[in-house]
A and B are shown apart, each in its own frame.
Chain A
Amino acid sequence: MSSHYEAPIRRPLIVGDKSYHDITLEVAAPVEGKANKLWWTAFTIALIAFLWGLGAIIYTIGTGIGVWGLNKTVGWAWDITNFVWWVGIGHAGTLISAVLLLFRQKWRMGINRSAEAMTIFSVVQAGLFPVIHMGRVWNAHFVLPIPNQFGTLWTNFNSPLLWDVFAISTYLSVSLVFWWTGLLPDFAMLRDRAVRPFQKKIYSLLSFGWTGRAKDWQRFEEVSLVLAGLATPLVLSVHTIVSFDFATSVIPGWHTTIFPPYFVAGAVFSGFAMVNTLLIIMRKVSNLEAYITKQHIELMNIVIMITGSIVGCAYITELFIAWYSGVEYEQYAFLNRATGPYWWAYLLMMSCNVLSPQFMWFKKLRTSIMFSFFISIVVNIGMWFERFVIIVTSLHRDYLPSSWTMFSPTFVDIGIYVGTIGFFFVLFLLYARTFPVIAQAEVKSILKSSGEAYKRYRDAGGKNPAPTKVVKVSTTTEEVKDTAVQKNDLLGSLGVFDNSTQKADDLKLISGVGPKLEKTLNTIGIYSFDQVSKMTEKEYDLLDSLLESFKGRAKRDDWAGQAKNLKNNG
């Protein structure tokens, strides 16, 4: 590190003056704290949606596929639309953790853990659809080439639906292993911090006895790199295989050679949008804004913009080829998309997928978190309609006009889709409270090169390694100015602490408050989280004027916000 050169143009990936310990604390905080009301509300809603979907699935299997809106012409609609949509969403996780690893992108470290979790949870959702859309689910094991009593009756390896089985199952298992390997040091961190025996036991089991020796780390890195190398072709091939479900058919509108890369680009597009949606919420509710910074959001927006443009190119290519081919069926397929009975779906898909990513060219928009959140949702709506349009508009009007028909979903179709969204969030919410949502081991590895404090120190001409804390802690004891007026003002708005009826909180739990500062606060008359949580601009200023040093720290570290969390969790 001592000879480290980093271009000054690079912005910090970890903002705030974080130390290694701060990272540990902030990553572990959601796991070690208690869930708040917001979490329980979200979890309940997700659980209800999941159970409703489960009911719809059981109803489908018990009664028959006829309860869906499918008909003889349109044999695939919401089922496969949702399948491809979920698989597509799942692609961003592996892309972030594998492809960005190969390209040595340090910004992936703040987001890869959650992106991979998203991959796994969405592939689980996707995996439901190929099973439940079967007419006879209980014979699903026949898709596997297992020696059997039917004279070793085997599968036909010519069908992309069989390739799907291999693609999805391999993808899920490799992603799971990749994810779990990365989790070992983080689980070990939680294990070592755990106070209660149950948690200790669980995290010792999950961390597989990770001790973090040099040899372990060396192999860990090698494994990660090899897995990244394997996962990259996998991520491209999985969605390629999914696209073969359509591309290898003879249906006008499906039979194209552009599908494999176009589907992959669409998958990355929608996957990144979903990562954006989730992380924008997560950085806020889990107080991880220092690690999932605006720059992360901006970079993801750029990926969305690029892949969105690739998808846009593919749309234009398809239209051009349809015109250029001179095949009237192909031309009609596209005419029907644009002007047929599902024109609104085509319009939604076009406007969401082609227009929305183009807003990201404007720095003001792509660095706006509210706007990114909005667009990320728009993109996923658009990408859902892309799959719907490809599947349904190609099927409902094809070669024989006598078999032209329409498709409309039933409440069961919709219920199952809502159910998978619910299931996804059930898993993701549970994950967010039990797993280290940021790969703290990896983030720590970039702290000294991309941490804000270290960057500031380097830019100011300081030599590496930077000091552990850039903001020097004053060695002199903290003197509280005897300004009774200010003290009274401060306590007036924070409330007076009564020693006889209330119990003093451990203010040291607030990041940035040490034993010394706690004493200082006590002398002012601040003892409880409740008091600290009431602090606003005015109180921060008053406190600053009372303190000799530490000026501006309370506000910078958001003591009020921290105290609010501690109050709710305690």
Chain B
Amino acid sequence: MKNILKITIALVFLIVLSSCWGDKSKPNYQYMPDMYKSVGYETYSENPNYSNGMTTQLPAEGTIARGNVPYEYTDTNEGYETAKLELKNPLEISEANLENGEKMYNIYCLSCHGKSGAGDGVLVEREKFLGVPNYKDRDITEGSIYHVIMHGRNLMGSHASQLTTKERWQVTMYVQQLRTELLK
């Protein structure tokens, strides 16, 4: 009888311990996953119903979502030049706009352009790649800054998917402020 008790205790102990040795490279076991898996389509999930296997599909070309204004300057040198001349920042220069612009700049631009915009970001310092210009060396306007964020230029890619229209103008405002600092 005493042996049976000891064996039982040992077994219980082993079973409890064994829960610590799960396969960490796999998701763990689930008990009755009634509503764990989504019945509806989750945005980034795989989806065999579409030819490209993704739930997220591109909107039909030429459609305009409510609240959005299409950007009309093309991703060409002509488009760049026109934007540089014509495009104006719709936002008022304010503390709040500059503050958020700085926040966004520090997230999306800092690693290449550097904290002051002198083209001395950490990736440049580590020589991952070269050729990031100093803002003061380039003749840029708010229109051209916005255009480049929107479409990208040379080595730089488009940041349109990371930033909303408002954020892009706030970053533009902040870049202009950095340039003024650099030009002093």
Contacts and interface: CB of A to CB of B under 8 A. Distances in A.
A136 B31 CA distance: 13
A139 B32 CA distance: 9
B34 interface: yes
Interface of B: 31-32, 34
Interface string A136-151: 1011000000000000
Contacts of A136: 32, 34
A139 B34 CA distance: 10
A169 B57 CA distance: 56
B35 to A, nearest CB: 10
5 contacts: A136-B32, A136-B34, A138-B31, A138-B32, A139-B32
Q: Which 5 A-B pairs have the closest CB atoms?
A: A138-B32, A136-B34, A139-B32, A136-B32, A138-B31
Interface in A375-418: none
B114 to A, nearest CB: 46
Contacts of B31: 138
Nearest to B34: A136
Interface of A: 136, 138-139
Question: Interface SS of chain B: helix, strand, loop or mixed?
Answer: loop
B30 to A, nearest CB: 12
A138 B32 CA distance: 8
B29 to A, nearest CB: 14
Contacts of B32: 136, 138-139
Nearest to B32: A138
Contacts of A138: 31-32
Nearest to B31: A138
A139 B33 CA distance: 11
Contacts of B34: 136
A17 to B, nearest CB: 46
A136 B32 CA distance: 10
Nearest to A139: B32
A345 to B, nearest CB: 36
A144 to B, nearest CB: 16
B76 to A, nearest CB: 57
A138 B33 CA distance: 11
A146 to B, nearest CB: 14
A204 to B, nearest CB: 14
A136 B34 CA distance: 9
A308 B34 CA distance: 47
Nearest to A136: B34
Nearest to A138: B32
B163 to A, nearest CB: 37
A96 to B, nearest CB: 37
A262 B31 CA distance: 43
A138 B34 CA distance: 10
B37 to A, nearest CB: 16
A65 to B, nearest CB: 14
Contacts of A139: 32
A343 B175 CA distance: 85
Nearest to A137: B32
A358 B31 CA distance: 55
A453 to B, nearest CB: 47
A136 to B, nearest CB: 7
A286 B27 CA distance: 61
A463 B4 CA distance: 58
B86 to A, nearest CB: 57
A174 B69 CA distance: 75
A272 B172 CA distance: 89
B40 to A, nearest CB: 21
A232 B32 CA distance: 41
A521 to B, nearest CB: 51
A3 B159 CA distance: 109
